[in-house]
Amino acid sequence: MVYDPARMRRRDVFDVITEGGAGTVKINDIPAYALPSPADLPANLAQWEIDPSRAALLVHDMQQYFVRPFPQEMAAELVGNTELVRSRCRQAGVPVAFSLQPGGMSPQERGLLADFWGPGMGTDPRDTSTLERLLPGPEEKTFTKWRYSAFFRNGLLEWMRQTDRDQLIICGVYAHIGVLATAMDAFTNDIQPFVVADATADFSAKHHRAALEYVAERCAVVIDSSEVLS
């Protein structure tokens, strides 16, 4: 498939780079903004609380390709908050999983994503690899991320059922796309989602705030990293 950069409508977000008819996408630099503080969080409708015997942690798409566009200081804060959450989950015996998008997807694998985001990332490990500070441990699961929802066609739901987990703590990027879709899919499957506000990030503070408000009002509990298993 030949991707036509002229028809893509998100040039403020990414550029399509074509070579010999093939294409990859470069996500543009994301302007710095302050990650949400506890005072910034929207009011939750659900009053769920994390139970270590019921919960699992999902580190969502924390790959070099998706985190690199953030300013260095912002990325460091995002990664640090995610590290804190994972550390507490490990200490509490909460199983940890990662969603990782594959590079170099064929047009058939990419499907309708191509109409909104172009061909996606290539196969360079400098893009596809998980951030070094968040590499999965030997007992931690990885699931291929094919669509917005981390539950799509990869066994994540089955793994949660097999491990008797009906709560999902979510960290990662991007809040208004995959994080939101994954939270909604968890809710649809009667899994209580907890979105960690300052361990997620987005293209802008506006996108981030909109995502947190949406899930808090419809499908999830929004919390600060300091609240997770504290």
- Write out pLDDT tens, residues 71-109: 999 999 999 999 999 999 999 999 999 999 999 999 999
Q: Which amino acid is at 95?
A: P
| Catalytic residue selected from 61, 127, 185, 202 | 61
Mean pLDDT computed over 179-187: 98
At residue 217 the predicted structure's pLDDT band, cuts being 50, 70 and 90, is very high
Calculate what percentage of the chain has a pLDDT beyond 70: 90
pLDDT digits over 132-178, tens only?
999 999 999 999 999 999 999 999 999 999 999 999 999 999 999 99
Give the pLDDT score at 6: 47
Which of 10-24, 187-201, 207-221 bottoms out in mean pLDDT, i.e. has the lowest? 10-24
Cβ proximity of 62 and 79 under 8 Å:
yes
Q: How far is CA 20 from CA 3, 5, 144, 157, in A?
A: 11, 14, 28, 39
- Which one is predicted more confidently, 10 or 160? 160
pLDDT at 17 exceeding the cut of 50 = no
Q: Which stretch of 121-130, 140-149, 209-218 has the lowest confidence by average pLDDT?
A: 121-130
The closest of 163, 155, 180 to 61, measured between CA atoms, is 180
State the DSSP string of 19-32: ETTEEEEEEPPPPP
Q: What is the mean pLDDT of the chain?
A: 91
pLDDT of residue 30: 95
Q: What is the pLDDT of residue 27?
A: 87
Concerning whether 15 is annotated as a catalytic residue, the answer is: no
**Alpha-carbon span 140 to 180, nearest angstrom:** 23
* Contacting residues for 158 by C-beta, under 8 A, at least 6 apart: none
The model carries a pTM of 0.91
Task: Rounding to the nearest 10 degrees, give the CA dihedral for residues 194, 52, 84, 139.
Answer: -110
Number of residues assigned to the chain: 230
